[in-house]
Structure 1
Amino acid sequence: MSKRLPAMDSLRFLEAGVRHANFTRAAAELGVTPAAVSLRIRDLEAELGVALFRRSGPTVTPTEAGAALAEHVARALGLLRAAVEDCRGAAEPLRVTAVPTFAMRWLTPRLAAYHALPDAVPIRLDVSAELRPAEGFDIAIRTGHGDWPGFEATALMPVEATPMLSPALEARVKLSSPADLAGLPLLPHDGWRRWFQEAGAEVPGLRFYADDYPTHELDAAAAIEGAGVALLSPLLFGALLRDGKLVQPFPHVIRGPAAHHALLQPGEARPAVLRFRGWLQEEAGRPL
């Protein structure tokens, strides 16, 4: 006679605990207390007769058995979400969260092409620099090195940057070599020294603009007004070059190591989510 399966809630607690490797963060996601997660995990271990976590004070580490079971549970939950979506028939909006500049400069201009596809679903776009809790989105687009614990990260394209300035500012100075840019106010960016080095320019010091803006969008706006030279992505801000609002005085572009990534929950199996990630990958691979 086969034994009954553990309660679904117990398996959900296990999956969240392994994904976060922290009962407090798992509890926050599940809407319960850390003590409730710990108790449920202990009951599940007793029911299965297997240790699922190693405990050392407040630190918990999944055992091999716990990690393996959680991986299977994540896949099963993904299949359940896909089955529920199919059962509902009409597609619900896909909850997409993206950082502001990427959302404005890359994603939104392409959504019309996405909605022209026969299997497209409505998009509910959230614009935020902070990563939302896992239950708050279906797919996230974030910039970094791919190390987001608890998520499957798919690299879309490397981060790029090259100097851009207004045509009026360029007309007032003579830029015959990359080193000449060092004589202009540079809008603060961590990549400036790397750009000069890769461009083969030896500069004794850099003169930065007084204001340090929190987004590249604001850097671009300041550059358009002639405040200084901005280090911007030709992928995201290419339209400003084509429209003549900014110019790129030198061809060198720095790339990586950071990249724009699509983040999904582990075991995600809903067709609409996977199709949208595939569409993102295809669009990211298209030439400018």
Structure 2
Amino acid sequence: MVNLDVSSALAELDGETVHLAIRHSRSQSVWPRSEARHLLDVRLTPMVKDDSAVQSTDPRAWSGNVPMLHDENTDSWSEWIVSAGISVATWRGPTFSNSAVALQGATSGQGMALGSRIVAGELLESGALIAPFQHEVTDGAYWLLARKFEKLSKAEATFCSWLVEQVAQASAKVV
């Protein structure tokens, strides 16, 4: 049996109650008392409910006329704007507890959120969101952690294999 707990808190991989974790980091790939396996690099691009917020697929033509929905990492928008070579006069917009909630805000028309084409793949495929610009910025990676991968139960090892396969399939769709 695999129990899943979704939390932004760092769980201690004690081998008794917590056996696996998925962590996002902009720079870290090693955590104490655990082994890490790379799942996927994160590349962010603006996502919005419809194309009325943008006049061109060239980000340099974007005026910033729609609220920017921020997540807990408020640096992501500034990094995307600088790397796209654009100047936006205002950085207005609410800050959400995580990127998934910011993307939900974008789907409800509250503004534009930065998202990963892989993580938001179903929202993009369904048309709930569009990614009007091709320009992306790197935002770290997701890592699968275990105390010791070779000591996982059969169910946990099966879950890890399934997860890696799902990430690979989702990544292949985006290419």
Segments of structure 2 that go 5 or more residues without pairing to the other structure are: none
Amino acid at match of 1:192: W
2:132 equivalent to 1:253 = no
In the comparison of the two structures, how many residue pairs are matched? 162
Given candidates 59, 65, 83, the residue that maps to 1:198 is: 83
SS at match of 1:155: strand
Amino acid at match of 1:129: S
User: In 2, are the aligned partners of 1:183 and 1:207 still within 8 Å (CA)?
Assistant: no
Under a length normalisation based on structure 2, what TM-score does the superposition of the two structures give? 0.80
Matches within 5 A, 1:133-144: 133=12, 134=14, 135-144=16-25
Partner deviation per Cα, 1:211-256 (whole Å, 9 max, x = no partner) = 2110212211211222211001111111111111111111122234
- How far residue 173 of structure 1 moved from its aligned partner, in angstroms, is 4.9
Report which of the two structures shows the higher radius of gyration computed on alpha carbons. 1
Amino acid at match of 1:128: S
Query: What RMSD in Å do the two structures reach over aligned CA positions?
Result: 2.2
- How far residue 275 of structure 1 moved from its aligned partner, in angstroms, is 4.0
Stretches (4+) displaced over 4 A = none
Distance 1:130 1:236, change over 3 A: same
For 1:115, the equivalent position in structure 2 comes to none
Segments of structure 1 that go 5 or more residues without pairing to the other structure are: 1-92, 94-122
Matches within 5 A, 1:7-156: 93=1, 123-133=2-12, 134=14, 135-144=16-25, 145-156=28-39
The percentage of counterpart residues that share the same residue type is: 29
Distance 1:221 1:149, change over 3 A: same
Amino acid at match of 1:254: V
Given candidates 127, 146, 165, the residue that maps to 2:48 is: 165
CA–CA distance in structure 2, aligned partners of residues 176 and 125 of structure 1 = 39
CA–CA distance in structure 2, aligned partners of residues 172 and 262 of structure 1 = 36
CA–CA distance in structure 2, aligned partners of residues 173 and 197 of structure 1 = 18
SS at match of 2:5: strand
User: In 1, are the aligned partners of 2:59 and 2:86 still within 8 Å (CA)?
Assistant: no
For 1:208, the equivalent position in structure 2 comes to 92
SS at match of 1:203: coil
Under a length normalisation based on structure 1, what TM-score does the superposition of the two structures give? 0.51
Asked which structure has the greater RCO (Cα within 8 Å, sep 6+), the reply is 2
User: In 2, are the aligned partners of 1:152 and 1:264 still within 8 Å (CA)?
Assistant: yes
- How far residue 204 of structure 1 moved from its aligned partner, in angstroms, is 5.2
2:56 equivalent to 1:175 = yes
